[in-house]
Amino acid sequence: MDIQLSVQQLTKRYKTGEGVTGISLDVRKGELITLLGPSGCGKTTVLRSIGGFLDPDSGDILIEGKSVLHAPPEKRPTSMVFQGYNLWPHMTVYDNLAFGLKIRKFKKAEIDQAVNEVLQLVRLPGAEKKYPGELSGGQQQRIAVARSLLLKPAVLLLDEPFSALDAKLRHEMREELREIQSKTGLTMVFVTHDQEEALSISDRIVVMNQGNIEQIASPQEIYDEPSSLFVSQFIGKMNFLKGVIASERVTIGHLSFPNSKNLSGHVQLAVRPEDVIIEGEQGQGLPGVIKQVMVLGHYAEVSIDLPQYGTIRAFQPRDSVKDLHTGQQVKANFAKVIAFSQN
């Protein structure tokens, strides 16, 4: 297993008190890893430290086994794609792309071939003579990605690159980035606050909160097995109910579930809406009343008021809610619960 990037005990604190403390992270060669978290959690601080745009207070950053801590951005084997496209408006697409290669003393024939190949890769062949102002936002972002790819970085850094695009375009760009990554085998570190984006493109996700790492895992594991209450609140939709440990089981009302974490006392239970089972009045679940049924395309969201526990949401197949209506008495059961200690 080749470690392409190693961040070791990175600390960077600002006068405001924000920043990161003791961040350690290994990124494998060819891996796309995403730093995810709310604004101010420190994800961009980590990214900019890797790129050389910030000097950490302490710690080390190794790329391909060598420390780059004291190298300026232009001397690091990294390339950054920013939120804004950062293209020179007075230069053609060709000149924007060729600029870095000219500085590196590439021959014209080599530059022509490289520009041609990278435009094919980002699906903009023949755009060489256009100016950035003649391109759409999505096309400009493709050129920004292409410019970084031309430098053949050991690690490509992407700072919320699709946040300025509309939802449909953002979705397309994600797919294209994943395709580019699989074709080139590039190692990428991607920053976003958009959980759907992180879940859809990452090999692993680093969930950050207040300058610390909460969990590093695959998208599936982050979603199915959040390791902390924060991760369970931040990733996807979730219902929260109060429970208690009784007879070595996690219990809520008369329902009980395995206590796999060996917790004790009062616990907070997290239940995904798709794990809520709606039963008829003869069911085994907790009694409740339907507040609302909303059909959202191929599935429906049903709100159920549970006395003592509040309102929970259930995701159901569209066809299964035809007989449900507001005010109806039902029972709510759970296919799976995740329990957390109450601090």
**Same domain as 264, residue 167:** no
Q: How far is CA 78 from the centre of its chain?
A: 21
Query: Tens digit of pLDDT for each residue in 331-340?
Result: 999 999 999 9
Query: Tens digit of pLDDT for each residue in 177-188?
Result: 888 888 889 999
**Same domain as 77, residue 45:** yes
Single residue among 231, 263, 291 that ends a domain in this structure: 231
Is the Cβ–Cβ distance between 23 and 59 less than 8 Å?
yes
End-to-end CA distance of the chain: 38
Q: What share of the chain has pLDDT > 70, as a percent?
A: 99
**Same domain as 154, residue 258:** no
| Domain count for the chain | 2
Average pLDDT of 89-108? 86
Looking at per-residue confidence, does 301 or 87 come out higher? 301
**Same domain as 193, residue 108:** yes
**Same domain as 242, residue 225:** no
Q: Is the pLDDT of residue 128 over 70?
A: yes
Task: Note the pTM of the prediction, 2 decimals.
Answer: 0.88
Is the Cβ–Cβ distance between 91 and 133 less than 8 Å?
no
Single residue among 212, 231, 250 that ends a domain in this structure: 231
**Same domain as 132, residue 261:** no
**Same domain as 247, residue 226:** no
Q: Report the distance separating Cα 7 and Cα 56, nearest Å.
A: 11
Query: Tens digit of pLDDT for each residue in 246-303?
Result: 888 999 999 999 998 999 999 999 999 999 999 988 889 999 999 999 998 889 999 9
Query: Tens digit of pLDDT for each residue in 311-328?
Result: 999 999 988 888 899 999
**Same domain as 150, residue 57:** yes
**Same domain as 160, residue 17:** yes
Domain residues for 279? Answer: 237-341
Query: Tens digit of pLDDT for each residue in 43-69?
Result: 999 999 999 999 999 999 999 999 999
Among candidate residues 166, 80, 177, the one with its CA nearest the CA of residue 123: 177
Q: Report the distance separating Cα 28 and Cα 3, nearest Å.
A: 4
